Structure 1
């Protein structure tokens, strides 16, 4: 799951009550469908910072809830308001994400340099989705070879 640090950083998540935030504001049908249909509570998440001076994996999180209506779609004052959405038939969902650990940044250049990750969706040219699946093998490779876990 990628986010701009100015919108919601790994520090924001780790400092939130219960280290949990709602992943709101997704307005792409494919990304919405990943949240709605594929994500389950307990699933591991690579927390990725994007559109910033140093993009890359900044933490590990997990899905903390099933999909629920994104409340922003109903708020006319929100930048994520959707006039066509209603409480009876919401178009957009959110999931809650719990931060588990902040890690030293694994830069995108490091991810791209690894042939084992060449098929990773987030690294594909033109990928603009804020949510992309990661295979178990990709996640394990990153965890085993690229993340320097704090020694606390």
Structure 2
């Protein structure tokens, strides 16, 4: 998949998956939360929130955000829709944030950076646990 030149490619800095997920969420919400440290924003590679590129930080931001910006809730596999996020993990924690692009015939299909993928079946990944974040909306106060 091509890279958006407005954002640094973090592929060689630990992975680009959550940066890609954040770009997708931003494309749908068109609003960032500039709260220092706990917000969700990207101005440059050196001026961004931890939640823009960090798997666990993005999860915490989305499910706890009560202010400006996108917000979500944990759901199960049956409650996902295109635009939602799935995070894959193992016993050491969560490490990957693909974006759900379709649900077809009971199969979840995702797009991702860090091992670029589009319309990849979720069940083709190797992981021990998954959590699903349904993007409920975005506040633009």
* TM-score of the superposed pair, with normalisation by structure 1: 0.26
More strand by share: 2
More helix by share: 1
Larger Rg, first or second structure (1 or 2): 1
* TM-score of the superposed pair, with normalisation by structure 2: 0.27
